[in-house]
Structure 1
Amino acid sequence: MDVWQSILTCLYWATVWLLIGLLCFVLAYLCYIHYTHLKFDHIPGPPRDRYGTLSTGFLFGHGPSIQKSMEDFNLIHEKFLEWSERYGPVVRLNVLHHVSVFVTDPEAVKEFLMSSKYPKDPYTYDLLFTLFGKRFLGRGLLTDTNHRHWYMQRRVMDPSFSHSHLVGFMDVFNEKAEHLMEKFGEMADGETPVGIHSMLNSVTLEVILMVAFGMQLNLLDGAESPFPRAISMTLKGISRYVQNPYMQYMPQHRKFVKEVWDSLELLRSTGRQCIKERKRAVANGEDVPKDILTSILKIAEQEGECDDGLMLDNFVTFFIAGQETTANLIAFIIMELTRQPEIATKLQAEVDEAVGLKRDVTADDIGRLQYMNQVIKETLRLYPPGPGTSRWLSEEMVIEGIKIPGGVSVIFNTYVMGRTVKFFDDPLTFDPERFNLNAPKPYYCYFPFALGPRSCLGQVFAQLEAKVILCKFLQRFHFQLVPGQTYEILDIGTLRPRDGVICTLTARPESSKG
């Protein structure tokens, strides 16, 4: 009896001390949150959220408002635009103990993005190292927050993504784009609804796999492939994961998380096998495709920077970003042109003059497409597939007269700045003349591919591919949006047209091929 009494007494006191310890932890955490409020609350920002008469803002900050704005993959950036217009160029955002500063000041954009002094924000980018506990983008180019380590990677990658190197793949761009036009032509009766975005996703995936990894898919011919769904699920997983990194522990989300895990495993296992086989072939002196992977492996070997883990992280990044963002850009252009007939006509006239009825578009042809450049830039202003980036401020700084303490994430958003009247007159009007060669250049308020040393590695690739596809599409077809379609944006980490740009196509009489 004494033994049981002793055990119960021990359990009792263990429970008491556990509860006391837990209470002390909670109190310490609340004190820390209060400290962050004292440290940052001089910065303008929206009131913290309330639930009825109960204030939850002390703990959750603006988290509930942000999460609500992201439901059903809605556009959180419109909320950021609203806050920046109301509270100014420096806006404080609180979520639990974490504070971010949302900045729409061109001088700050210049300072942070054009310098290597400010690393990428580890809170945001370290989050993407894994996806629901499984390695995702790891320490690849997109997510590496260590500048020295990132620079070593970029030095290896840069030559393979230079304009001079990518021009060598114009035959692939033309071949895949021509195949897409043939499929469009089969449905160009003026009545059949054509899912433009879906088919663009297929062709851009075929292009990135062929040009980067020497892999051949035939998605446009109806070949079954798990890759499109895997990419879509992974992107949805990113969006949900950023909202709630702990979803994997919640039973109601188990099915979704398992689908994301399976999709991620498919991408990484495919990359792992591809890299392994190519390294073996290169080492044995076998004939290998002259693609980006071969180029990177050879340069990495020369530089002594051949790390299989990093190669795989970047494989997944290229696989997703190289397909998704280019397809979204072209889809947004076509979507916008359906309500801009004068711009569409002018663009088609330029293509007719520069390319004519030629089957293959050359690099010289693309160099003559000045108005197309303007249309692409204006589309990226209103619909940037990658809307923003963030940097880490380690030391105190003054932005727009406001003291920003060190130890904070600084968020920059090209979507918001591109739609701000302070930087662009009549910002919601689609006007390619903003980017006429004689027009003043936007001063650090336009950065769809970021700026400075960490600007997007794939921007030349994306624009070359987009121009080839657009040339052929405008060369061959008139197009109209199917009634009932909207111009709304879907936010799944990248921005894409919500309704898929469902169009009817009609062949241009002057484009018929002999």
Structure 2
Amino acid sequence: MMGIILFVCVLFLVCLTLKVYGRNRGTYTLPPKVPGELPIVGHLHQAVLSRSNLLKFLTSLSGSCEKLGGVAVFNFGSELYYLITNPQEAIIAGNSCINRHYAYDFCKAWLGHGLATSTEEIWRYRRKLLNPAFSLPVIHGFLDVFNSQAKKLINELEPHIGKGPFDHCLYLKNNAVETLCVGTFGIKAIEDVNFIKKYTEAVSEMVSILVSKFFKFWLQSSLICKLTGIQDKEDSLVETLHNMSDKVIQEKKQILEKEALNKTDNPKAATGIEYRPFLDLLLELSANGALTDKQIREELNTIISTGFETTASQLMFSLMLLGSYPEVQEKMYQELLTVLGPDRDVERDDLNKLVYTNAVIMETLRVLPTIPCILRCVDKDVKLTNYTMRSGSYCLIFPMMTNIVSTWNTKNSAFSPEGWLNGDFKNNQEFASFGVGMRGCIGRTYAMVVLKVMLAHFIRRYRVKADMSQLKLNFDFVLKPESGHEISIERRM
């Protein structure tokens, strides 16, 4: 059996080399090449050897790119990749290269042609349809949900008051999933605790399989996936996730039909919280013929799968940085007291008044971005300042990777929210945490508002302590901690 697998691996690599060799040839002068290339495999061996810590590999690539002038190339097998750390070049590439890397195709069995995985043509159509569902007025309608979920989170952490460091990641992740399920599916989604638990576990397992497929090239062979049982596992997870989404869609349709008959369309009457879930808005598109039930499921799964872990991770990093910089935490606390008082909920008019809080979030996103690199296809020749990226290649954009280190040291780290107040980042050229160029994250407004509300409740209730010097990071699809991310909390009042 092992002999067969080894033969298939070698055959796959040879075919891959022959397939992409021709399209990587061109007349344009290449930028400097990252050191360490081997014949045939290029720099692939570095990724394989760094599989246990992918962030180390990406940090090495971005560091080499920075030393080589901000634009460089490397080969993944025979595939040509342009590396970009220069912010201006990143904007050009981001606006010119709309289609995402083929790695996203591995998600299509699960996410279909949702915004995260679709081709440019489908993405443009869906994005235009979905933009109104993510508008600021719609997000403002979720403020009661955000406030309620924030208070639920801080109440769940009460047992840890004054008891030293503890791992808060699971609390944040579960709360983020609940919040997204409420905002996406509706209040009823969180009544079933097993629903949240089952969905979160299935998503986590799916992500693990998808990451393995990208970096273990032999798993891109359907034959090997079947022989190793990975395909059966993936199929089972996809079926679970689809069934859960389909069930909610059908239940929501029945509820809306009953509401139409009874002429009751105010969700506050039943729940005490007034808002319109994303699913309601998407079902309106279905009624108008713009989206099918299958397409709605694709977008629902995309919203939750791309939203909950990113939001939870960013909140975790924000709390860690505030706990490591007590002077920043105190400034933020004083602003929160001035604007909100000791315990009032965050209202719509408060959001723009929380200027320093906003700066803290932006600086956290800059220093520890949840998505620190962006993979795109180069479908046409793209002219950069000094080089032209060849059609048929790929680009890896990470203008902020040089800010990330695998071990933090508070003596030389550069966390300063004031940079967002004095105009250092007014053009946002070094800020790409929500993507760069045309295909930026549709959920940016949602993320910023929910983070602001969560932090407002958390910092008014607790004084946070953390030690960034102990933080060890890794990366799969998002930046996440391996260790040293614990915090301790004390009650303020």
Give the TM-score range, shorter chain: 0.7 to 0.9
Identify if the C-alpha distance between structure 1 residues 324 and 237 changes in structure 2 by more than 3 Å, giving closer, same or farther.
same
2:67 to 82, 86, 91: 86
Report the Cα offset of residue 395 of structure 1: 3.3
Q: Which amino acid aligns with 1:125?
A: Y
- Aligned runs of 1:265-344 on 2, under 5 Å? 265-282=239-256, 285=260, 290-302=276-288, 304-344=289-329
The one of 485, 488, 491 equivalent to 1:504 is 488
Q: What is the letter of the counterpart of residue 114 of structure 2?
A: G
Q: Distance in 1 between matches of 2:378 and 2:316?
A: 36
1:109 & 1:137 partners in 2: Cα distance? 27
The 5 A counterparts of 1:82-481 are 82-113=63-94, 115=95, 118-129=97-108, 135-147=109-121, 149-188=122-161, 190-191=162-163, 193-214=165-186, 215-217=188-190, 225-244=197-216, 246-247=218-219, 249-250=223-224, 254=228, 259-282=233-256, 285=260, 290-302=276-288, 304-416=289-401, 418=403, 428-442=413-427, 444-481=429-466
Name which structure has the greater RCO, CA cutoff 8 Å, separation 6+.
Answer: 2
Q: TM-score, normalised by structure 2?
A: 0.84
The answer to whether the Cα contact below 8 Å between 1:121 and 1:409 also exists between their aligned partners in 2 is no
Contact persistence 1:385–1:494 (CA under 8 A): yes
Deviation per CA, 1:92-113, whole angstroms, max 9, x where unpaired?
1212231111122333323233
Q: CA deviation at 1:500?
A: 7.1
Q: Give CA-to-partner distance per residue, 1:221-260, whole Å, 9 cap, x none.
A: 8998322222222222232122125437558994666555
Check 1:431–1:261 CA distance in 2 against 1; reply closer, same or farther (3 A cut): farther
* In structure 1, C-alpha distance between the alignment counterparts of 2:346 and 2:17, rounded to whole Å: 61
Give the whole-Å Cα distance in 2 for the aligned partners of 1:165 and 1:178: 21
Unaligned runs of 5+ in 2: 1-9, 268-275, 406-410
Q: Percent identity?
A: 23
Q: Which residue in 2 is equivalent to 1:64?
A: 45
Q: Which runs of 5+ in 1 are unaligned?
A: 1-21, 50-56, 130-134, 421-425, 510-514
What residue identity is the alignment partner of 1:293?
Answer: L
Amino acid at match of 2:185: F
Counterpart code for 1:145: T
Q: CA deviation at 1:322?
A: 1.8
SS in 2 for 1:59: coil
RMSD, aligned α-carbons? 3.3
TM-score by length of 1: 0.81
Greater Rg, structure 1 or structure 2? 1
Q: Could you tell which deviates more after superposition, 244-253 or 404-413? A: 244-253
Which residue type is aligned with residue 174 of structure 1?
N
